Structure 1
Amino acid sequence: MNKMKAFFLESYGELKKVVWPGRESVASSTRVVLVSTALFAVFFGVVDFVLLKGLFFIF
Protein backbone atom coordinates (compact mmCIF):
# COMPACT_ATOMS: atom_id res chain seq x y z
CA MET A 1 0.00 0.00 0.00
CA ASN A 2 2.88 2.36 0.73
CA LYS A 3 4.32 1.74 -2.72
CA MET A 4 1.04 2.72 -4.36
CA LYS A 5 0.83 5.89 -2.28
CA ALA A 6 4.43 6.77 -3.13
CA PHE A 7 3.74 6.15 -6.82
CA PHE A 8 0.81 8.58 -6.86
CA LEU A 9 2.67 11.21 -4.88
CA GLU A 10 5.67 11.00 -7.22
CA SER A 11 3.38 11.09 -10.27
CA TYR A 12 1.68 14.20 -8.95
CA GLY A 13 5.06 15.79 -8.31
CA GLU A 14 6.21 15.04 -11.85
CA LEU A 15 3.00 16.47 -13.34
CA LYS A 16 3.66 19.74 -11.51
CA LYS A 17 6.99 20.00 -13.39
CA VAL A 18 5.36 19.69 -16.82
CA VAL A 19 5.28 22.85 -18.94
CA TRP A 20 1.88 22.69 -20.60
CA PRO A 21 1.47 24.34 -24.03
CA GLY A 22 -0.52 27.52 -24.25
CA ARG A 23 -3.81 28.01 -26.04
CA GLU A 24 -2.14 29.68 -29.05
CA SER A 25 0.33 26.82 -29.47
CA VAL A 26 -2.38 24.16 -29.28
CA ALA A 27 -4.56 26.04 -31.78
CA SER A 28 -1.64 26.46 -34.18
CA SER A 29 -0.69 22.78 -33.97
CA THR A 30 -4.30 21.75 -34.48
CA ARG A 31 -4.54 23.86 -37.63
CA VAL A 32 -1.35 22.30 -38.99
CA VAL A 33 -2.70 18.79 -38.37
CA LEU A 34 -6.09 19.52 -39.94
CA VAL A 35 -4.65 21.19 -43.04
CA SER A 36 -2.03 18.50 -43.61
CA THR A 37 -4.64 15.76 -43.14
CA ALA A 38 -6.91 17.41 -45.70
CA LEU A 39 -4.04 17.80 -48.18
CA PHE A 40 -2.98 14.17 -47.82
CA ALA A 41 -6.60 13.03 -48.22
CA VAL A 42 -6.96 15.00 -51.45
CA PHE A 43 -3.60 13.75 -52.74
CA PHE A 44 -4.38 10.10 -52.05
CA GLY A 45 -7.89 10.53 -53.44
CA VAL A 46 -6.46 11.82 -56.72
CA VAL A 47 -3.87 9.02 -56.85
CA ASP A 48 -6.59 6.44 -56.18
CA PHE A 49 -8.80 7.94 -58.90
CA VAL A 50 -5.98 7.96 -61.45
CA LEU A 51 -4.94 4.38 -60.68
CA LEU A 52 -8.55 3.20 -60.86
CA LYS A 53 -9.08 4.89 -64.22
CA GLY A 54 -5.83 3.32 -65.44
CA LEU A 55 -6.98 -0.14 -64.39
CA PHE A 56 -10.35 0.31 -66.09
CA PHE A 57 -8.55 1.48 -69.24
CA ILE A 58 -6.31 -1.61 -69.25
CA PHE A 59 -9.06 -4.13 -68.46
Structure 2
Amino acid sequence: MKKIFQFFKECAGELRKVTWPTRSDVLSSTKVVFISTIIVALILGFLDWLFTEGLRLVF
Protein backbone atom coordinates (compact mmCIF):
# COMPACT_ATOMS: atom_id res chain seq x y z
CA MET A 1 0.00 0.00 0.00
CA LYS A 2 2.92 2.30 0.75
CA LYS A 3 4.25 1.86 -2.79
CA ILE A 4 0.91 2.91 -4.28
CA PHE A 5 0.89 6.15 -2.30
CA GLN A 6 4.50 6.80 -3.22
CA PHE A 7 3.67 6.21 -6.89
CA PHE A 8 0.87 8.80 -6.85
CA LYS A 9 3.04 11.25 -4.93
CA GLU A 10 5.78 10.93 -7.56
CA CYS A 11 3.22 11.28 -10.36
CA ALA A 12 1.95 14.53 -8.85
CA GLY A 13 5.54 15.77 -8.55
CA GLU A 14 6.22 15.00 -12.21
CA LEU A 15 3.01 16.71 -13.31
CA ARG A 16 4.14 19.89 -11.56
CA LYS A 17 7.25 19.89 -13.78
CA VAL A 18 5.23 19.71 -17.01
CA THR A 19 5.13 22.84 -19.15
CA TRP A 20 1.55 22.95 -20.39
CA PRO A 21 0.84 24.60 -23.76
CA THR A 22 -0.97 27.90 -23.85
CA ARG A 23 -4.43 28.26 -25.34
CA SER A 24 -3.01 29.95 -28.43
CA ASP A 25 -0.50 27.10 -28.92
CA VAL A 26 -3.28 24.52 -28.73
CA LEU A 27 -5.49 26.45 -31.16
CA SER A 28 -2.60 26.91 -33.56
CA SER A 29 -1.75 23.20 -33.50
CA THR A 30 -5.42 22.30 -33.93
CA LYS A 31 -5.66 24.50 -37.03
CA VAL A 32 -2.57 22.87 -38.53
CA VAL A 33 -3.96 19.37 -37.92
CA PHE A 34 -7.40 20.29 -39.28
CA ILE A 35 -6.04 21.86 -42.47
CA SER A 36 -3.55 19.01 -42.99
CA THR A 37 -6.35 16.46 -42.59
CA ILE A 38 -8.49 18.23 -45.18
CA ILE A 39 -5.60 18.44 -47.66
CA VAL A 40 -4.71 14.76 -47.26
CA ALA A 41 -8.38 13.76 -47.59
CA LEU A 42 -8.68 15.75 -50.82
CA ILE A 43 -5.52 14.20 -52.25
CA LEU A 44 -6.61 10.67 -51.33
CA GLY A 45 -10.09 11.31 -52.71
CA PHE A 46 -8.62 12.52 -56.00
CA LEU A 47 -6.30 9.51 -56.23
CA ASP A 48 -9.20 7.17 -55.49
CA TRP A 49 -11.26 8.78 -58.24
CA LEU A 50 -8.30 8.67 -60.64
CA PHE A 51 -7.62 4.97 -60.04
CA THR A 52 -11.33 4.12 -60.27
CA GLU A 53 -11.64 5.87 -63.63
CA GLY A 54 -8.41 4.25 -64.80
CA LEU A 55 -9.69 0.78 -63.94
CA ARG A 56 -13.01 1.50 -65.66
CA LEU A 57 -11.09 2.29 -68.84
CA VAL A 58 -9.09 -0.93 -68.59
CA PHE A 59 -12.10 -3.15 -67.89
Q: Give the deviation of 1:37 after TM superposition.
A: 0.2
Runs of 4+ in 1 over 4 A off after TM superposition: none
Give, in whole Å, the separation in 2 of the partners of 1:19 and 1:50. Answer: 46
Aligned Cα RMSD in Å?
0.3
Q: Percent identity?
A: 46
Q: How many residues align?
A: 59
Give, in whole Å, the separation in 1 of the partners of 2:42 and 2:12. Answer: 43
- Aligned twin of 2:4: 4
TM-score (norm 1): 0.99
Structure 2: 5+ residue stretches without partners: none
Structure 1: 5+ residue stretches without partners: none
Give, in whole Å, the separation in 2 of the partners of 1:10 and 1:51. Answer: 55
Give, in whole Å, the separation in 2 of the partners of 1:45 and 1:37. Answer: 12
- Aligned twin of 1:49: 49
TM-score (norm 2): 0.99
